[in-house]
Amino acid sequence: MENGLLAGAGNGSSPYGNTSVIAFVNEKGGVAKTTSCVNLAAAFAERNYRVLCMDLDPQANATTAFGISAEHAIEREAHCLLTMPRFPLERAIVPTQIPNLDLVPSSARLADCDKALVMEVGRESRLRNKIREFNRSVLTDKYDFILMDCPPTLDMLTVNALAAATHMIVPVTTKFYALKGMALLGDMVATLHEQIGATVRMLGIAITMFDKQTALDVTVYRLLKEKVERDFGNFIFSTVITKSVVVSEAEAGGIPVLLRDPESKAARAYQVLADEVLDRLRRDVGRMLAPPLAAGVS
């Protein structure tokens, strides 16, 4: 097993030591957040990284994608992690059938999180504190990656995920509403940086469900790429995930497409995307010199 990805970049470059926490987030639903999260988790695990996937979506699609039933998620789930102050992260973790890959499952109860946290102090950074405690503990095995599948809403779950994340990946389809969702997310990220000292950095925008035969998809892709590269830099992953029925079949089977059909076009695309993510992360962590936790955060 390789050491943490950040090992080469020097310790202390991440708030969680050698652990990279990546949130998959977009305000728009149906842009392949869960699929991207699940398959990249499987790809990293396959490369011998220790990976924890956190399902923060009440729809619990990432949980079922790993073949874990809802019964598992009654006592060990993200809901307990967020609402119970003394519930440690290690208690919420369940192993999956994939080596090196564990899961914090979700259930429909997670939808009540907003209500449960409304009177809590420091509710935005609860998840961040839990991950930090987990990583400080000498009794726990550390993960190289924690991947968080966010819900398609800008609620307290997404706020917690973004406050805890070191990086974010924004899956986006080449449809106008998905771009609007991305712009809304941008406002929220900026607010979190200003208000609670979040340190999340953009790792990249992943184009998903792309249909190169459609003039609209090609046009919107070109416009988005031109705009982002001109205004902000090379933040769009060069690997484009095309629309594929194999992915849907894999979801129904409760196993990531990477394992179900590794030779499929979609699986190969996710493997290439995983390499690209790792490469970007290696280059990015070297520059991440900001203090891990900003002052004023509980």
Partner 1 sequence: MISKTTTSTVRHAPEGVCSVLISINTPGIESPVCRVGNSKALLGELTVGQLIDKVINPNSLLSVGVPMAQLEAESPAAVAISELLSTDVYEVFLLGEGEAEVRVVSMEEPASSIAQPQSGERGNTFINVNLEVRSAKEVSPDGQEKRELALPSVVEVEAPSETAQVAATSEFSSELPEMPAKVLLAPEPTMHVLRDPAPVAEASQEPAPKTDVAKKRSAPASSGLVAIEAKLPPRISHARASKERGEYIRKSDWLRAQFLPEVEALDFSGLFVGNLGLGIREERGRRNVVLADPARITDVLLRGNGYRRSADHAKALICYQELVDMDSGNADFRFLLGKTLLELGQVEEAMQAFTRGKELGHEGAGKELENLRQAGHRSRSPLGFLRFWK
Nearest-CA neighbor of 265 among 203, 210, 217? 210
Binding to partner 1 by CB under 8 A, coded x per residue (else -) over 222-261, reads xxx-xxx-xxxx-x--------------------------
Residue 131 token pair: 């991950």
Binding residue count for partner 1, defined by CB under 8 A: 37
Of the candidate spans 72-80, 83-91, 181-189, 241-249, the one that interacts with partner 1 by CB under 8 A turns out to be: 181-189
How many Cα atoms are found within 13 Å in the side-chain-facing hemisphere of 183? 8
Of the candidate spans 85-93, 148-156, 220-228, 253-261, the one that interacts with partner 1 by CB under 8 A turns out to be: 220-228
Interaction of residue 48 with partner 1, rule CB under 8 A: no
Interaction of residue 116 with partner 1, rule CB under 8 A: no
Interaction of residue 189 with partner 1, rule CB under 8 A: yes
Using the 8-state DSSP alphabet, how is residue 48 labeled? T
Find the length of the chain.
Answer: 298
Give whole-number Cα distances, 163 to 96, 130, 196, 276, in Å: 26, 12, 8, 24
Q: Closest distance between partner 1 and the C-beta of residue 232, in Å?
A: 5
The residue within the footprint of partner 1, chosen from 136, 180, 212, 283 (CB under 8 A), is 180
Nearest-CA neighbor of 21 among 130, 99, 107? 130
The residue whose two tokens read 């809802």 is: 70
Q: Closest distance between partner 1 and the C-beta of residue 201, in Å?
A: 4
Instruction: Give the span between the Cα atoms of 96 and 195, in whole angstroms.
Output: 37
Instruction: Give the span between the Cα atoms of 70 and 201, in whole angstroms.
Output: 32
The residue within the footprint of partner 1, chosen from 179, 209, 281, 285 (CB under 8 A), is 179
Tell me which residues touch partner 1 (CB under 8 A): 168, 170, 176, 179-180, 182-183, 185-191, 193-194, 198-202, 215-216, 218-220, 222-224, 226-228, 230-233, 235
